[in-house]
Amino acid sequence: MKADIHPDYHEITVVMTDGSEFKTRSTYGKEGDRLQLDVDPKTHPAWVGGVNLRKTGRMEKFSNRFGDLNFGSKKAE
């Protein structure tokens, strides 16, 4: 293996948007640096349900068209 071609792999502290912290190993910065996140899984709309994805597959089209029908089940009287 060639010498001096790999980046330094060291421990850093990651700070989440709510202020919580955890330590991990990374090539970011230098030993002991802090990585402040602007977006993380606790606040990003894709993980907290804020993203409205448009579904256009065949099953979604079928569900939109016939979703309120109860196939094979009896209605309670």
| Predicted confidence (pLDDT) per residue in 23-43, tens digit | 999 999 999 999 998 888 887
Pairing of strands 34-36, 21-26: unpaired
In this prediction, residue 45 has a pLDDT band, given cuts at 50, 70 and 90, of: confident
Within-domain flag for 38 = yes
Q: How far is CA 1 from CA 4, 7, 10, 47, in A?
A: 10, 14, 20, 41
Structural domain harbouring 40: 1-51
Within-domain flag for 26 = yes
Within-domain flag for 15 = yes
Within-domain flag for 21 = yes
Within-domain flag for 59 = no
Q: Is the pLDDT assigned to residue 55 strictly greater than 60? A: yes
Within-domain flag for 76 = no
Domain count, the chain: 1
pLDDT tens digits, 7-28 = 889 999 999 989 999 999 999 9
Distance CA 4, CA 25 (A): 19
Q: What's the CATH number where 4 sits?
A: 4.10.80
